[in-house]
Amino acid sequence: MKRLAPLAIGAALVSAAAWADTAPGDVAFTDGAVEQSLTGKPGDAANGRVVLGDRGQGNCVACHQVSEMADVPWHGEIGPPLDGVGDRWSEAELRGIVSNAKMMFDGTMMPSFYKVDGFIRPGDAYTGNAAEVVTPILSAEQVEDVVAYLMTLKE
């Protein structure tokens, strides 16, 4: 079923012309997983790799080690290594974890990368000032790119 979905969505895109990204508040979690692509199109794994390593974007390596990203310096050890996550988790599960890991792991330290509410004293990025409008840390497209890259991490 899952395998058919992109085809169906592709067809929908052609006819509807503009697919609106799923808004952060509308993401549908099922047991922590998110079945539906946030953008309705496949992510770009190469860009996802950039998002993982860039301090100004996902900065995922701040907490996770990724052997495949040995060219990016300084990987942290706060969260589990990401080697093989493409085997251990489904795409839907990874999408859910990246979007809001607390739906899968209650109380986890991992930030929610596609969420805009429920924060205490949210700031305007790293300025230390209050946020006027909270935008998600990653865009829907960036989340999909990260998920696409994570799916390439097979043992």
Partner 1 sequence: MLKKAIVLAGAAALTGLASTAVLAGPDDDELVIDGETFVTELPGFEGSPLDPIYSGWRFRDDATQALEMDDFENPAFVFVEQAAESWETVEGTEGKSCASCHGAVEESMKGVRASMPSYNEAAGELWSLENYVNFCRTERMGADALKWDGDELNAMTALIALQSRGMPMAPVIDGPAAEWFERGKEIYYTRYGQLELSCANCHEDHTGDMIRADHLSQGQINGFPTYRFKNTKLNSAHGRFKGCIRDTRAETFAPGSPEFRALELYVAWRGQGLSIESPSVRN
Partner 2 sequence: MEWTRRDFGALCAGAVATAALVGRPGFAFAADDNGTQAAIDAFTGGAPVAEGGVDIGAPEIAENGNTVPIEVGAENAAAIMILASGNPNPGVVTFEFTPLSGARSASTRIRLAKTQDVIAVARLEDGSFAMARRPVKVTIGGCGG
Summarize as ranges the residues that interact with partner 2 (CB under 8 A).
55-56, 59, 62, 73-74, 76, 125-126
Q: How far is CA 74 from CA 7, 38, 60, 70, in A?
A: 39, 30, 11, 9
Whole-angstrom distance, CA of residue 51 vs CA of residue 16: 29
Q: Given the complex with partner 2, which of 86 and 136 has the nearer CB atom?
A: 136
Distance between CA atoms of residues 34 and 144, nearest Å: 11
Burial of 106 (0-12, 13-18, 19+ CB in 10 A): exposed
Least Å distance, CB 59 to partner 2, is: 5
Window 112-131: residues binding partner 1 (CB under 8 A): 112, 119-131
Interaction of residue 32 with partner 1, rule CB under 8 A? no
Look up tokens 């990368």; give the residue: 113
56 to 95: interface string for partner 1, x by CB under 8 A = ---x-xxx-x---xxxxxxxxxx-----------------
DSSP tag of 55: T
23 contributes a contact to partner 1 by CB under 8 A: no
- Binding site residues, partner 1, CB under 8 A: 55, 59, 61-63, 65, 69-78, 109, 111-112, 119-131, 134, 137
